Structure 1
Amino acid sequence: MRESTVGKPYEEILEEAYERFEAAEDFTVSIEEEFALLDPETLDLVNRFEEVQAAARGTALEPNLVGELIASEVEVKTGKQASFAEVPAALAERRAQLAALVDPLGLALGATGTHPWASWRDQRIIDTPHYRRNDELLGYVVWRNNTFGVHTHVAIRGADRAVRVASAVRNWLPELLAVSASSPFHEGVDTTLHSARTQVFTRFFPRCGVPDALPSWAAYADYVRFLYATGSVDEPTQLWWSVRPHLSFPTVEIRICDAQPDVAEAQSLVALMVSLTARCARAIDEGEPLPDHPHRLVEENTWRAIRYGLSGELIDLERGDVLPARARVERLLEWVQPVAEEIGAAPWLRLPERNAAERQIARHAEGASFEEIYAEQVGLTVPAG
C-alpha cells in the first residue's frame, strides 16, 4: 500500500527529494498498470481487492502489487528496471503473474481506461490511511474516479534537470493521450469521447491535468511550499498533474495515458513515453531548444485528444497548422528515434493501425454491444502462454 506522508515536514520532504534527484541514475524505469477486477461471467466490477492482496502474500508478485483507490481495482508495478530493455518482458511477466493469481479466485482482469457500464456508486474505497485521507479531502470527486491508467516513471539525474524535463514533456501530453485512448464508454453511455477517463479524472481532481512549465527545482519547491503553507495539500502525492517530478522517487512520472488492453500496445506506448522523457533530457543537456507552449494551448490539444484520439487532428503549436493526430505522433516518433535506439526502445516503437478506442468505437458502430466489445478487450489483457 502507499505509505502516507501526512504530518512529515514539507521542508524535509523537499530536501530528501532533492538529494534523491541529485544522486539518481539516468533512465532507469518503472511502470505501473491499473487493472479492473471482474466477474469472469458478467464482466462486472467486483470489490475483491483485499482477497487478491491476501493471495499475493508470499509470492513473487507481493512487492509489486498495491491497491489503487477502489476495491475493484488492482495495480501492479514492474519495479525498478535498470534499462528500458528489461521493461517489455517485465510488463508481460507482471500481467501473467497477476492473471495466475486472480484466476483461482474466480476473477478476470480488464484494462481499458474506464469500465463500460459499472456505476461508481457500487465501488468501495479501500481502507488504507492514504485513501481514507483522499476520501476525507475530496469526497464526491474521488468517489467518481473509477478509472484505469498506465504510469511511467523515468529516473532523471539532477533536480533542476528533472523539473525542466517534466516541463518539456508536457508539450507532448496530447500526443501520448491520443495514442493511448481506450475509454469511449462509461457508465453505460457511448460518451462520444475517445478518452472518457481523462475527462473524468483531470476535470474532477484539483491540481490535475497539464501543469504550468517551471524553470527550476527552486520554482517547483516554492510551489510545493505554497501548497503546504496554505493548507492546500498535506502530502506530496496530492499534486495529480499529468506529468510531474515525483517527490518520493527521483523520476519524472507521466500519468496522462489510459490503460491498455493489449499488452503489445502497452509495451509500445511505454517505449514512447520513456523515449520522449530521455529525448527531452538529451535536448536539455545539448542546449537544443525545446518548446515552451502556454498551458492554454497544450490544453487545447489535450481536449482534441480526449474527444477524437488518434482519429482526429492536433495543432502544430509551433506553426499554427492543424494536422491529423497520426501525423503529429509520427513526427514525435521521428524526433525520439535517436534516443530510442540508444536506450533499447526503438524496436518497440510502433503506431497501431487502430488504437483501443478506435477498435471499440468501430465495433459499436457495427452493432456490437458493450458487453461483447468489453469481452474482446478483456481477452487481450493477458499474454498467451
Structure 2
Amino acid sequence: MVNPATAGGAAADKQALAVAGAGPAFLPEFNRSKLGSMGIELELMVLDRLTYDLLPAAPDILRLLDMQEKKWVATPEITTSMLEVATSILGGYAEAAGELEEIRASVQRAAFAVGAAISGGGAHPFQRWNEQRIYPKERYYESAKKFGYLAKTFTVFGMHVHVGVPSADEAIRVCAWLTQRAPLFIALSANSPCWQGEDSAFCSARSNVVSAFPMSGTMPAHIRTWAQFRAHFERLAGHGIVNSIKDFYWDVRPKPEYGTIELRVLDTPLKPAYAAALGSYARELCIEVYDRPGRWPSDDCQELYAWNRFNAAKEGVGASWIDPEDGSRRQVADVVRGDLERLARRTNDPGFGQAVRVIEALLADGGQAGWLRGHMDAGSGMNDIARVASEQFEHR
C-alpha cells in the first residue's frame, strides 16, 4: 500500500490537477501493495465547546497540526467545520488502535487550543446545511459550483478503510465481494439518528446524504478486470462526467494510487477503538476473499444490495440482511458473529481477538445509535446529544 503522505511524482501531479478540475481526466495505474496493509481515514466534527454546534475552526486546527512531526496526516474537508485524519500504513488491530488514539489526543489538544471540541459521529444532530462555509480550496469551490447546495449538505462525517491488494484485477474482484458486505458496516457504525434538528427515524441518517450525488451507488457488475474499469472511466471521462477516481462516490471503490480498495460507507465511530476494530474486520474479509481466487458474487447481488443498504441504515444493528448468494434472511448480528468466528480461525493478526470483543460491544443494546437514542428518550436535547457524543470521542 502506497503511503498517501509520501506519494509523489509525475503521476501524482497529474492526479492532483485532475482532482482539482485544473487538468485533463486522469486515472493512474494500480500500484501493487502488500495484501492486508491497511489505512483508516476519519472525518471529524469541529464543535463549539459551549454550544456544541459546528464551529468553522478547522483551518486553525490544521495550522497547529501542520507544526507537528507525525506519520499520519490531517487535511481539510469540504466545509470549514470538518477535518479529515488519515493513518499511516497499518498491519492490524493493535497498530490501528494505537495510532488512532495518538491522532485523537493530538487533534483534541489542537482543537482545545482554539476553543473547539472534536467529535466522531456520522451527522451533527442539529447543524443547518445553509450555515456551513465551503473550505477555501479550489477543489471545493469547484464542487460547490458543480453540485450546488448538495456540497454543503455533504457536511457529514464518515470513516473510510483502505485495504491493500497486490494486483489490479484482484482489487476489482475483492471490491465486488466487499460491496456485498458493506451494509453490515453501515449497521455496525450507525450513530447518526438525528438530522437537521430532528429524529430521522434512521440509525444512520448520514447514509442517505451521499445517494443524491450522480456517481453514488456501487461499481457496475459487468466490470471484472482493471482494463474494464479503465474503459468505464474513460467512457465517462469522455462525456465530462468524471475527471478522477474521486468522482466515483461508490460505497466501495478501487484506489489505484494507493494500491487499495476503499470501503466508504461507515459513520465515523464515536470511539477510536471502534474504528480500529471495524477496519480490522474489513481487512480480514478482504484477505479471505483474495485467498479464494476466481470466485465472484452472484449475478443477483445488485438487486438485493439496495434493500440491504437501506435496511442497515434504517435499523442499525437490529437490521436483517438478505444473503445475495442463497436468498436467506438473517439478522445482521448473526451474520457479523458468523463472520468474526470464521475469520478468527484463519487470521494472522494477534490483535484480532480484541477487535472481535470491541465489535461485540458495538452489537449490544442497539449499537451506537441505540446509545444516543437512550439519551434522547431520557430527555436530552440536541445540544446534549452533540455533547455526549463529543465526550465519548475525547475521553480515552
Question: Fold-level match, TM-score > 0.5?
Answer: yes
Q: Is 1:348 paired with 2:355?
A: yes
1:1-385 pair list within 5 angstroms: 3-5=16-18, 6=21, 8-10=23-25, 13-14=26-27, 16-18=28-30, 20=31, 23-61=32-70, 64-201=73-210, 203-213=211-221, 214-284=223-293, 287=294, 290-291=297-298, 293-342=300-349, 344-349=351-356, 350-351=359-360, 352=362, 353-354=364-365, 355-384=367-396
Give the 3 Å change call, closer, same or farther, for CA 242–105 of structure 1 in structure 2.
same
* TM-superposed deviation, 1:165: 0.6
Q: Distance in 2 between matches of 1:88 and 1:339?
A: 21
- Contact 2:35 2:165 (C-alpha < 8 Å) held by counterparts: yes
SS at match of 1:37: strand
Structure 2 stretches lacking a partner, 5+ long:
6-14
* TM-superposed deviation, 1:302: 0.3
* TM-superposed deviation, 1:265: 1.8
Structure 1 stretches lacking a partner, 5+ long:
none
**Match in the other structure for 2:8:** none
SS at match of 1:260: coil
* TM-superposed deviation, 1:102: 1.1
Question: What is the RMSD of the two structures over their aligned residues, measured on CA atoms?
Answer: 2.1
Superposed CA offset, 1:256-311 (max 9, x none)? 10011122222221221222222221222xx5665554322111100100111112
Amino acid at match of 1:126: Y
SS at match of 2:231: helix
* TM-superposed deviation, 1:383: 4.3
Corresponding residue pairs, total: 375
- Contact 1:32 1:78 (C-alpha < 8 Å) held by counterparts: yes
- Contact 1:31 1:150 (C-alpha < 8 Å) held by counterparts: yes
SS at match of 1:94: helix
Amino acid at match of 2:352: A
Q: Distance in 1 between matches of 2:326 and 2:44?
A: 39
Amino acid at match of 2:159: V
* TM-superposed deviation, 1:182: 0.7
Percentage of pairs with the same residue: 25
- Contact 1:92 1:383 (C-alpha < 8 Å) held by counterparts: no
- Contact 1:263 1:382 (C-alpha < 8 Å) held by counterparts: no
SS at match of 2:52: coil
Q: Distance in 1 between matches of 2:23 and 2:313?
A: 37
Give the 3 Å change call, closer, same or farther, for CA 289–253 of structure 1 in structure 2.
closer
SS at match of 1:283: coil
Q: Distance in 2 between matches of 1:292 and 1:171?
A: 12
* TM-superposed deviation, 1:320: 2.5
* TM-superposed deviation, 1:141: 1.7
Q: Distance in 2 between matches of 1:290 and 1:241?
A: 17
Structure 1-normalised TM-score? 0.91
Amino acid at match of 1:117: F
* TM-superposed deviation, 1:188: 0.4
SS at match of 1:70: coil
- Contact 1:38 1:110 (C-alpha < 8 Å) held by counterparts: yes
* TM-superposed deviation, 1:8: 4.6
* TM-superposed deviation, 1:87: 1.5
